[in-house]
Amino acid sequence: MIKQPAIILVKPQLGENIGKAARAMLNFGLTEMRIVDPRDGWPNPAAGPTAAGADIVLENAKLFDTTAEAVADCSHIYATTVRKRGMTKEVLTPVAAAEDMAAASGKCAILFGPERSGLEIIDVELARKIITVPINSEFASLNLAQAVVLVAYEISKHSNATVQPTLEKAKPQPAPQLELDRLYEHMERALEKTGYFYPPDRAPATKITLRNMITKPGWTNEEVQTLRGVLSSLENPHPK
């Protein structure tokens, strides 16, 4: 069974499209909307009419300044995009993504980019995996609500599945995004002191590779804390 995932709209442009996305969500039983830096502000009166009664989604929508803040409590983050953008991340169809979420423990989040340009690289970097819809390569253009519908429909297929509580409880809890962000920042600070990021012109690419390594699925809270302990020990070795 898929627990309620967070549908995150990153920098949406039109209030009408936020309303349509809310309608698409509620059609398939999803109610948790998070909005990141909307162009026209929030609340937006233009969203209500196009939501067509999905008021509960709009009323409970949470506003965030950055995508990183919006996913801080999430352990499994999926970015919807038609472009891989050179990322070494697993690419899933909505069907496969829904199956993946059904097997996951911890909070899931799905990122949807702005209508005109889609998600930026900095947003995709936060994701563990990418969701891409297999559509016409010569006209790969979905509006925001259509993208939400395609993913929400597949999620709804798993909403009534049963889970064995004992097996669910036995799974190690994956680390939330905030802990992975702190791990990366800790690692970057430690490596800066050693001169690891050399030559300077290669530093941005190296940092992206490190970020992608850290955001790959599978890290548990215990593993993250253990690795941070290793970094702290290297930074401040105990006297013998």
Q: What is the pLDDT of residue 165?
A: 46
The better pLDDT of the pair 135, 108 is held by 108
Q: What is the pLDDT of residue 87?
A: 66
Q: What is the pLDDT of residue 133?
A: 87
Q: What is the distance between the alpha carbons of residues 72 and 120, in angstroms, rounded to a whole number?
A: 18
Q: Is the dihedral of CA 58, 26, 96, 84 positive or negative?
A: negative
Mean pLDDT of 97-117: 92
Please indicate, yes or no, whether the overall pTM of this predicted structure exceeds 0.85: no
Q: Is 78 helix (H, G, I), strand (E, B) or coil?
A: strand
The 3-class SS string of 197-212 reads CCCHHHHHHHHHHHHH
Residue 155's pLDDT band (boundaries 50, 70, 90)? very high
Burial string for 98-118 (b: 16+ CB within 10 Å, else e) reads: bbbbbebbbbbbbbbbbbeeb
Q: What percent of the chain has pLDDT over 90?
A: 59
What is the four-CA torsion angle of 133, 61, 159, 146, rounded to 10 degrees?
Answer: -30
Highest mean pLDDT range out of 8-12, 201-205, 213-217, 228-232?
8-12
Q: What is the pLDDT of residues 35-59, one digit of tens each?
A: 999 999 999 999 999 999 999 999 9
According to DSSP, residue 108 is labeled: E
pLDDT higher than 50, residue 166: no
Q: What is the pLDDT of residue 213?
A: 86
